[in-house]
Structure 1
Amino acid sequence: MALAVAALVKITFLKFEILGGDTYVYFAFFGSIVAYNFVKYASISRLYHRRLTKSMTKIRALTVISSIVFVYFGFQLSIDTIVFMLPFILLTILYTVPVFPNKKNLRSVAGIKIFIIAVTWTGITVIVPVLYAEGNLGFDMTIEAIQRFLFIVVIMLPFEIRDLQYDAKELETIPQKMGITRTKVFGSIVLVTFLLLTAFRDELTSTEILSTVFITIISLLFLWGTDKKQSEYFCSFWVESIPMIWLFILVLMQSLFG
């Protein structure tokens, strides 16, 4: 997951020819490890705080080390960049910590889980890195942010389908409300919108067109290949690798077409 975030950040830098962004890439990578482990393992870690299993001990050690490295790279960023990050850090905290009535967190609020994730990832992989490098969002960068939001919503759908048998009905996820087939149709419409938005850019290159077409097709194939019963690594490896595939395609297109 952290590699996926880093790949999406790198895609943003490559698309807009932003140089010298490695510090932010490392910052996002290690921050993603910390955030993911916080979201996924915080409650489990509390349950086993006295007798941690060997795997939980390793996860805690990884989280501590990643936190130290995350803070290290954070000190190399400007104060403005940290300020830009704060809303998305807050969303991550509210996603996990039960601060709402009836001890709810954002994750348990019906119908919004996938969109909270998409907003957070869009902020970290497009909005903050662009503000970090450019200081403001131009028209093409705004289009990129909208496209990134749509893209992340779609690649989250296979996870929602996978978890259909485990999620509480109160979550009202998209597959729960629409069913698997209609969820795939919905995701396909979102992907077509993602692709068509490319035409609205002020600066449109063959690299941008081809890389977007290819990643749209690949995402469609994974979306329609998703089922409630799937192999252990279908989502956890293959779907999570889609951003890395996108980065590879973009680098290849840029090397071929300049």
Structure 2
Amino acid sequence: MKILKSVFRFYINGSIHVALAICALIQVTFMKFEIPNQQIFLLFNFFGSITAYNFVKYSKVSKLYHRRLTKSMIGIRVLTILSSVLFLCFAFLISVSTLLYMMPFFALTVLYVVPVFPNKKNLRSLAGAKIFIIGIIWAGVTVLVPLLYVGESFGLDFLIELIQRFLFVVVMMLPFEVRDLEYDAEDLETVPQKIGITRTKVFGSILLVVFLLLTYLKGEILYSAEILSTIVLTIISLFFLWGTEKKQSEYYCSFWVESVPIMWLLVLLSLENLFG
């Protein structure tokens, strides 16, 4: 049992779970636009996500405590190094134009943690901006770049999908902001800090309603599996949003909330098989 717990913690803390969630969202995008077999692009993003997230989470820790890292941190460092090497290997199989599309989101990720602004501030420390920056990064990486990678033309469905993904990610970040209420500095001005926990849930619910209604504005890619999967996803997201409390279980956000994109993919796969 101790071994299983250690493996699970490594799976979460090593950002493998969040990387799978990102790849799940990319695959959802490909399925909605009927784009098959993009394994290289998915692997490129999987290893890139592990590298980026571990850089965000552990760069300061590794720098300050490199002489006395725990076994867990040593394992995460090895995982990050291996992932960065594989990420670079897959980057050689990706077109230069796609890499250029990725650059703004890579830059945002770096600026999110590196203090390049006055008073040693980074993007994360900008009042009220944190979840919206993450929403932009995730929407770009899971919708904009994948569709540009396959040469999809920028139309109404493309734009709606991009907006929907941004709204979805913002909502999924709200439970994390509630969890971090007692740790975040007041000058961060997160949504729960500004309006309270209950109103945060109402705010997230409104965004989910908009997210759902936008589906009906789509034309070319609108089909039964997409409509039903979006309805199911909205219900699942509402469940986790309203189940969020200031004091929550250790893995409520880092496992269950981050599993919602994977649930979305599984629901979409099941419905597509059902409807043929």
Q: Is 2:28 the counterpart of 1:11?
A: yes
> What SS does the aligned partner of 2:67 have?
coil
Q: 2:272 aligns with which of 246, 251, 254?
A: 254
1:1-258 equivalence runs, <5 A: 1-203=18-220, 204-258=222-276
Partners of 1:84 and 1:207 lie apart in 2 by 30
Partners of 1:38 and 1:200 lie apart in 2 by 38
**TM-score, structure 2 normalization:** 0.92
Partners of 1:49 and 1:109 lie apart in 2 by 29
Does the Cα contact within 8 Å between 1:21 and 1:133 map onto a contact in 2?
Answer: no
Letter in structure 1 aligned against 2:100: V
Number of matched residues?
Answer: 258
Letter in structure 1 aligned against 2:268: L
Partners of 2:89 and 2:153 lie apart in 1 by 25
Partners of 1:224 and 1:64 lie apart in 2 by 38
Q: Which residue of 1 aligns with 2:11?
A: none
Taking only the aligned residue pairs, the percentage that are identical comes to 64
Cα shift at 1:177: 0.3
Cα shift at 1:22: 1.0
Q: CA RMSD in A?
A: 0.8
Letter in structure 1 aligned against 2:43: Y
Partners of 2:152 and 2:201 lie apart in 1 by 37
Does the Cα contact within 8 Å between 1:195 and 1:212 map onto a contact in 2?
Answer: yes
Partners of 2:44 and 2:155 lie apart in 1 by 24
Letter in structure 2 aligned against 1:195: L
Cα shift at 1:227: 0.2
Partners of 2:120 and 2:38 lie apart in 1 by 39
Cα shift at 1:135: 4.7
Partners of 2:49 and 2:74 lie apart in 1 by 19
> What SS does the aligned partner of 2:68 have?
coil
- Write out the 4+ residue segments of structure 1 that deviate beyond 3 Å after TM superposition: none
Cα shift at 1:108: 0.7
> What SS does the aligned partner of 2:59 have?
helix
Cα shift at 1:21: 1.2
Does the Cα contact within 8 Å between 1:30 and 1:70 map onto a contact in 2?
Answer: yes
> What SS does the aligned partner of 1:18 have?
coil
Partners of 1:21 and 1:141 lie apart in 2 by 18
Residue deviations 1:65-85, cap 9 Å, x none?
Answer: 000011111110000000000
Residue deviations 1:113-158, cap 9 Å, x none?
Answer: 0011010011110000000002532211111010000000001100
Q: Flag structure 1 segments of 5+ consecutive residues without an equivalent.
A: none
Does the Cα contact within 8 Å between 1:127 and 1:137 map onto a contact in 2?
Answer: no
